[in-house]
Structure 1
Amino acid sequence: MAVKFVVDSASDILPQEALDMGITRISMKVSFGTEEYADGIELDHTQFYEKLAQADELPRTSQITPIEFSDTYESVLGDGDELVVITMSGKLSGTYQSAMLAAQDYEGKVFVVDSDNATLGERIIVERGLELAKQGMRAKDIAATLDVEKKKVRLIALLDTLEYLKKGGRISSTVAFVGSMLSIKPVVAVEDGEVKQVGRARGSKQGNNLLRELIGKCGGVNFDMPYALAYSGTSDSLLVKYIDENKDLYDERIVAEKLPIHTVGSTIGTHVGPGAIAVAFFEN
């Protein structure tokens, strides 16, 4: 008997990472016009941002269907196995509902967790689930524990551009123009399963300071739990700058080469654009 894990690609866990972690990853679909790609498989993160820069309209992402989940459950479950399924926030996609519908045929075997998050926030919840499994916890108890502990997960991101918020209809063209002229950098966070703007700063330095301030208001990073940093786009330069300006928070882990750095994929990258930096952690 084994406890196994299924996760959607909104976690930004890459296909090879999923193999290394021993989990099953289901790709969402990303569409640029009439062209559709399996997230992370037919279109990796670098290719996604290259296409995003050339696109006149934002790409669309489609939820994973109940049939896709059901087929995955069938292929993953062996005799006596149990399954923990972790999805992106149910307020951001119908993927959670699809996973729940498919789980109805596997009562007592499949337990679905709505991460109330996405990208890095979802990733560290998956990593926490794997830790609990290594401790010998059963799938039902892992799911119940994650449902409690996820309330302490914080995902905060500093955006480099307003362009994609404008394209997505979240701000007006006028606001975007004025903001760009003033070098306004919005800060967004996932709260109650939704992406919300929680602040704004003028310039990258003030933005980094605001990011640090917001992390402090959460009680700081609990380094005994999974945490992660990430950047969107094809360059990590802004994230490197952020880390350099916050060495007192991360220096020990940089020296130990333990700082977990990843890339933000299509699900959130569509709306924040390139140049964003993000931090996900369990608060103290």
Structure 2
Amino acid sequence: MARIRIVTDSASDIPSGMYPGVTVVPLAVTFGDETYLDGVTLTHQQFYDKLIESDELPTTSMVSPGEFSQVFAEAAEAGEDVVAVVLSSKLSGTYESALLAARQFPGRVHVADTMNATLGERIQVEYALRLRDEGLDAASIARQVEGMRDRVRTIGVLDTLEYLRKGGRISGATAAVGEVLSIKPVVWVDGGEVKQLGRARGSKNGNNYLMKACKETGVDFAMPHCLGYTGLDDKLLVKYMNDSAPLWKPHVDELPVGSIGATIGTHVGPGAIAVAFYAR
């Protein structure tokens, strides 16, 4: 049986080189007239430094079919089959790019639409790795990843409304009132898109809302799970992890944590915390 390479895009927020046998293809991030490769020529730290200083929101561009073709060709030359686990088709043209490129390698490249982003995409890559290590072939892995994606929950609490205002998702007046009242929007990925789940007043209530959502849904700790944060430090996430210890301590010794980059960070700004898991 052919060896299997897992390919994903940088919206998964998996650092390049983190997992053997996983290739991360970068999206492009543009500030004004300067374009960077997410995670390659622009680290998450550099991204937030620029985001905080910038008056205009940056834009992110999908991975092109040509970029995927190059990665798929390298895998084929190495005798590997490919499973591409990519950003939600509702959020980006990256999935269509991967499909277009896959047509050049019939039977060798299989594309799974995660219908998710950031940590919710990352844990599906981790699930694909697990299936690969169990000996499944590439087509079966892609099928199983898509078959389980409806169980994936990605939920986050925002620290500021400023970036929703900058992106035109809420009005200036709504943002101003929200900041005065210390409103923390709670968002989640639903049907492949980021939507508002609710809102809380103050960080403590935001944390409580997140804990309640996890408890009500039920976390399958036997499956991949992850927490993440936007911005330059993880202190808000560390507080949430301490507050929510009764939820996870009986099941696992520690929680995997990652930094959330440009794809979602552009829209939510620094200070957000998020969890991704498979529902029980």
Q: TM-score range by the shorter chain?
A: over 0.9
1:10 to 2:11 alignment: yes
CA contact (8 A) 2:4 2:21 kept: no
Give runs of aligned pairs for residues 188-267 of structure 1, distance below 5 A.
188-218=187-217, 220-252=218-250, 256=253, 258-267=254-263
Q: Report the CA distance shift for 1:160/1:104 in structure 2 as closer, same or farther (over 3 A).
A: same
- Aligned mates of 1:253, 1:239 — CA distance in 2: 19
TM-score with structure 1 setting the length: 0.96
- What is the match of residue 90 of structure 1? 89
- Aligned mates of 1:42, 1:136 — CA distance in 2: 35
- What is the match of residue 281 of structure 1? 277
CA contact (8 A) 1:9 1:28 kept: yes
User: For structure 1, which segment, 79-88 or 66-75, has the greater mean C-alpha deviation from structure 2 after superposition?
Assistant: 79-88
- What is the match of residue 106 of structure 1? 105
- Aligned mates of 1:42, 1:79 — CA distance in 2: 27
Measured on the aligned residues, the alpha-carbon RMSD in Å equals 1.2
Give runs of aligned pairs for residues 1-284 of structure 1, distance below 5 A.
1-17=2-18, 20-78=19-77, 80-218=79-217, 220-252=218-250, 256=253, 258-284=254-280
- Aligned mates of 2:234, 2:78 — CA distance in 1: 44
Structure in which a larger fraction of residues adopt helix: 1
Secondary structure (helix, strand or coil) at the match of 1:136 reads coil
Q: Unaligned regions of 5+ residues in structure 2, if any? A: none
1:5-39 CA distances to partner (integer Å, 9 max, x unpaired)? 1110000011131xx33211100100000011010
1:165-193 CA distances to partner (integer Å, 9 max, x unpaired)? 00011000000000000000000000000
- Aligned mates of 2:112, 2:95 — CA distance in 1: 8
Q: Report the CA distance shift for 1:253/1:50 in structure 2 as closer, same or farther (over 3 A).
A: farther
- Aligned mates of 1:104, 1:5 — CA distance in 2: 17
**2:229 partner letter:** Y
Secondary structure (helix, strand or coil) at the match of 1:5 reads strand
Q: How much does 1:82 deviate?
A: 1.2
**2:243 partner letter:** E
- Aligned mates of 1:46, 1:249 — CA distance in 2: 30
TM-score with structure 2 setting the length: 0.97
- Aligned mates of 1:81, 1:247 — CA distance in 2: 41
- Aligned mates of 1:238, 1:170 — CA distance in 2: 24
Q: How much does 1:79 deviate?
A: 6.0
- Aligned mates of 1:273, 1:264 — CA distance in 2: 10
Q: Unaligned regions of 5+ residues in structure 1, if any? A: none
- Aligned mates of 1:127, 1:68 — CA distance in 2: 22
**1:233 partner letter:** G
- Aligned mates of 1:25, 1:14 — CA distance in 2: 8
Q: How much does 1:207 deviate?
A: 0.7
1:217-276 CA distances to partner (integer Å, 9 max, x unpaired)? 32x11000000000100111111111111111133577x3x3101010000000010000
Q: Report the CA distance shift for 1:160/1:79 in structure 2 as closer, same or farther (over 3 A).
A: closer
**2:38 partner letter:** D
How many correspondences in the alignment?
Answer: 279
CA contact (8 A) 1:65 1:98 kept: yes
- Aligned mates of 2:118, 2:279 — CA distance in 1: 17
Q: How much does 1:216 deviate?
A: 2.3
Q: Report the CA distance shift for 1:270/1:38 in structure 2 as closer, same or farther (over 3 A).
A: same
Secondary structure (helix, strand or coil) at the match of 1:259 reads coil
- Aligned mates of 1:93, 1:73 — CA distance in 2: 20
